[in-house]
Structure 1
Amino acid sequence: MTATAGAPSITASIRAEIDVILVGFARLSAQSTIERAAGAMIAALAAVNKIMFCGNGGSAADRQHLAAELMGRYLKDREPLSALTVDTSALRAIGNDCGYLEVFARRLHGVGRHGNVLVALSTSGNSPIVIAAIEAARTTGIVTVGMIGTKGGRMDELYDILIKVPATRTNRIREMHIAVGRKLCDFVEDALC
């Protein structure tokens, strides 16, 4: 397959896209809040507390992935670390009985305790159910760690620790969220195992 006149080749397009990714990750690496988030997670788990994750839409898959890395194993054979996310049965039951806005908040009120950490992911920074979860966490004494994009949205000022990735497009934000999340798992595992 060859490029049509005036159109970039697929190879040039791939290189340009990777260059954008590299620039974003280089800017992300300067954030000290990643280390602060890892410290909060390590302290919580060392004190026999738990890490809870929430995220809506595409961020739901990321939250499940990160909880599984801690509960299962990341890079080391070890005992499971206490990491939770809402399961599909609870999500459906709470959504049906209390309204979808309550799916994370209600779970936090039920199982969250002072000393836990909530890691909340949102590409837009405006997800109402994630905002409700953050507000529930704050009333319970749960430390909140937020991962959002450059624009921040309504969540920009709600977190105890904010990791604002340098991207505005959803796909770029999610790439950085999962990379940061996996690095947090790496820090936690190295510190505790």
Structure 2
Amino acid sequence: MPKLPFKTLPKEFEKTIVGNADIGELEIPKYGDLSPNERIFIKENTVSIPDVRSSAVRLAKTIASKSGKKVIEIYNAIVTNDVEFLADSLEELLEFQKLSEESSRQRNLVMATAIIKFRLQPEWDFEDTSDANQIHPLLVDAIAQFARNEESGWVESESVEVTEEDLGNSTTDESQIGQKSTGESEDTGRKKKGSAKEDSETSQPG
């Protein structure tokens, strides 16, 4: 491997312990950013994963066309799981939650695989990350969070409020809403009020 003629050698990267005694611990080099190879790997392997925020916009517009409610109000209800506001659209909300959970799982898989592959074990691949006998699922989530922290430079990003102008109130191209850098988590910028799944189950007889 060729060496650069440094006048002053850069400091060695510090290492961060990710995980705990129950799920296992890994010592991972901390760069303060994702490497170019990691970014390329994440971008290439998340391109087919549904964008949750765009899906939320599409669903909001669909419900608005049937209910007459404002798109922005429905969008806010979707991303906060406001089951009371969406009482007439619980089935659609449940489907959205399933999509959101699966999208998050897939993204975590990609993010964790990128970190392990490029920082710890070059032979590592998706099959290894998916194998609970190889790595605990909760450790996968922890490494994915580490990757997101690296991507953001360990700076906590502020939530961006989505406005009616952003949504275009049924005219804006939803692909423009919530665009993210590669691998960013599917955070819609709002806290959840509850689970539509839980509410629908408790509201059903028997």
For normalisation by structure 1, the TM-score amounts to: 0.24
**Highest CA radius of gyration, 1 or 2?**
2
Which structure has more strand as a fraction of its residues? 1
The structure with higher relative contact order (CA 8 Å, sep 6+) is 2
- Structure 2 length-normalised TM: 0.23
In proportion to residue count, which structure has more helix?
1
